[in-house]
Amino acid sequence: MNLLNRASLLLLALLATLAPSALRAGEFSSDTISVGVVVTDLDQSLRFYTNVLGMKVAGSFAVDAAMGKKTGLTGGVPVTITMLRLGDGKDATDWKLMSFGKPATRPPREHLQDAIGMRYVTLHVTSLKPFLQRFKDNKVPLLGETPIPIGGGRHFALVQDPDGIFVELIGPLE
């Protein structure tokens, strides 16, 4: 069993121990998790996620100041949300880019350990080849010594989005 499979099994075991009620059938109306990401520059992030990673724009919507306050999401600031997806299936994950009409700020983060919270996302791909070409074409640097082999004919490549979120891609080189 490779390291990735062992880590996945360990994570599932940990989840089963810590939150057994969350794993009960029927408590969730969907098997997917939608992720909201606040970005400093919506246009730059859209270019990265669509042109470089190949996600598709699935729609957008706005939350006005009153609803932002009422829901507790923004404290009374309007927000625009653009939803992206990898595919068209009913279980496709929504990757929601959030823009508040002005650049968000944050301290620079070069490594996973530099901040708390959601730090990276993993994309399993059928071939790294087109992604590596788009990274090159769009001047997106590969991190570390990636792509590197991780076993089973798969390789691991790592980049960062314009705001520093790590994006790991796992799949065969060809």
Q: Looking at residue 38, which CATH number applies to its domain?
A: 3.10.180.10
Distance of CA 73 to the CA centre of its chain: 20
Distance of CA 174 to the CA centre of its chain: 23
**Cis peptide before 147, with omega less than 30 degrees from 0?**
yes
Report yes or no on 18 lying in a domain: no
Confidence check: pLDDT of 130 > 70: yes
Same domain, 133 and 145: yes
Which structural domain range is residue 89 located in?
A: 32-104
Report yes or no on 22 lying in a domain: no
Q: What is the mean pLDDT of the chain?
A: 85
Same domain, 69 and 116: no
Report yes or no on 85 lying in a domain: yes
What average pLDDT score do residues 116-132 get?
91
| pTM confidence score | 0.78
Tell me the C-alpha to C-alpha distance, in Å, between residue 132 and each of 2, 64, 87, 126, 168: 24, 39, 20, 13, 12
What average pLDDT score do residues 93-119 get?
79
Tell me the per-residue pLDDT of 62-86, one tens digit each, with 9 for 90 and over: 999 999 999 998 888 899 999 999 9
Question: Which residue shows structure tokens 């121990």?
Answer: 17
Contact 45, 55 (CB under 8 A): no
Residue 88: CA count within 13 A, CB half-sphere: 0
Question: Residues with Cβ < 8 Å from 9, sequence gap 6 or more?
Answer: 1
Same domain, 118 and 169: yes
Same domain, 49 and 87: yes
Q: Where does a domain end: 104, 133, 154?
A: 104
Same domain, 66 and 121: no
Contact 161, 52 (CB under 8 A): no
Question: Which residue shows structure tokens 């570390």?
Answer: 144
Tell me the per-residue pLDDT of 36-69, one tens digit each, with 9 for 90 and over: 998 988 999 999 999 999 999 999 999 999 999 9
Same domain, 87 and 54: yes
What average pLDDT score do residues 113-142 get?
92
Same domain, 42 and 66: yes
Report yes or no on 56 lying in a domain: yes
Same domain, 144 and 86: no
- Take residue 59 and report the two structure tokens written for it: 């729609």
Strand partners, 148: 156
State how many domains the chain has.
Answer: 2
Same domain, 131 and 141: yes
Taking the C-alpha atoms of residue 58 and residue 85, their distance in angstroms, rounded to an integer, is 6
